Structure 1
Amino acid sequence: MTDLITTLEQQEQELAFDAFDHADAWRLGSRITAIAQESGHKVGIDIRRPGLILFRAALPGITPDQAVGWLGADYAVTGGAFPIRVRGVGVVAAATASGLSSMEDHDLIVTGIRAHLAEAGK
């Protein structure tokens, strides 16, 4: 468990953005969606700020119970989300995937963020 916490903390520090706006949310969400489609995953993808949905996709095969987590009314002790952190600002949004195991959802989001930042030269 300690190794997992260390890994998650390292990911949060490594995968920070210089800025994050609506266009970034669209590009990141589209990238995560493309990765999911290429892998044949039946997932829902959501990027949001408090009170504002920045991106949402529901791939073929998603079930209604997967979308329930997007409503934000309940909390679950599972993975599948990752904070969008801007250097010098803090957490400004969260990206979430739902449909795989908790760790696979998390890894999908991390893979998308890593690819997005690499393309941006960060």
Structure 2
Amino acid sequence: MAQDRQELDRLIAEITAQQQRLVLRHFDNDDAWSLGCLLVELAHERALPIVVDIRRGAHQLFHAAMAGTTPDNDTWVERKVRVVERFGAPSYLMGLRALAEGTTFPVKYSLSEQEYAAHGGAFPLTVHGVGQVGTVTVSGLPQAQDHALVVEALEQVFDQQS
């Protein structure tokens, strides 16, 4: 159990550091297109059955559903996005924090599981000097893989903007 707790604490610290580091210089419609196309390209290269969704506020700027996805993936996107919008943190991080406290996300916050999903894959889009402006979400893989794919793409965008 101690090893599991150490791994949980390590993951929480890692994702917290990712969120602090991946602050973009700018984010507009063209940036959403580039990020979305990058995620679709990665999905094609790896034959990943994912949905990609990018929003600035409530405005959906990019949406793509790869082969092997279903409308259920879109439902997961909506639920993950609600977590990021409400808490300003990656959906995976919110679920892990609740787990570290010995509870679940829905119990901790008294929120409906039909409306909120604190599972990996949704990440806040944050702009330096502005704050959170939107979300990027992937759905279709196990939660750690959804999260990792989003972070991989965001790191490439961040590096291009630096």
Fold conserved between structures, TM > 0.5 = yes
Deviation at 1:115, TM superposition (A): 1.3
1:14 aligns with 2:14: no
**How many angstroms apart in 1 are the aligned matches of 2:38 and 2:26?**
17
- Alpha-carbon distance in 2 for matches of 1:3, 1:71: 28
**Residue 70 (structure 1) shift:** 3.4
Q: How does 1:1-122 map to 2 (within 5 A)?
A: 1-72=8-79, 74-120=115-161, 122=162
Q: How large is the Cα RMSD of the aligned pairs? A: 1.4
C-alpha contact 1:49 1:92 (8 A) present in aligned 2 = yes
Give, as a single letter, the amino acid of the residue that structure 1 aligns with 2:58. Answer: G
Measured in 1, the distance between the counterparts of 2:51 and 2:45 equals: 14
Instruction: Quote the offset at 1:77 in angstroms.
Output: 2.1
- Deviation at 1:36? 1.3
Residue 117 of structure 1: how far off its partner (Å): 2.0
TM-score normalised by structure 2 residue count: 0.70
> How many residues are treated as equivalent by the alignment?
121
Give structure 1 stretches of 5+ with no counterpart: none
The CA deviation string for residues 4-56 of structure 1, in whole angstroms up to 9 with x for no partner, is 11101110111110111111000011111111111110000001123210110
Following TM superposition, the consecutive aligned residue runs of length 4 or more in structure 1 with deviations greater than 3 angstroms are 70-73
Q: Which sections of structure 2, spanning at least 5 residues, go unmatched?
A: 1-7, 83-114
What amino acid sits opposite 1:14 in the alignment?
R
* Conservation of the 8 A alpha-carbon contact between 1:49 and 1:94: yes
Structure richer in strand, relative to its length = 1
TM-score for both structures, normalised by structure 1: 0.92
Counterpart secondary structure, 2:118:
coil
Local SS of the residue matching 2:16: helix
Return the index of the structure with the highest Cα Rg: 2
Q: Could you tell me whether the CA contact under 8 Å between 1:47 and 1:93 is conserved in 2?
A: yes
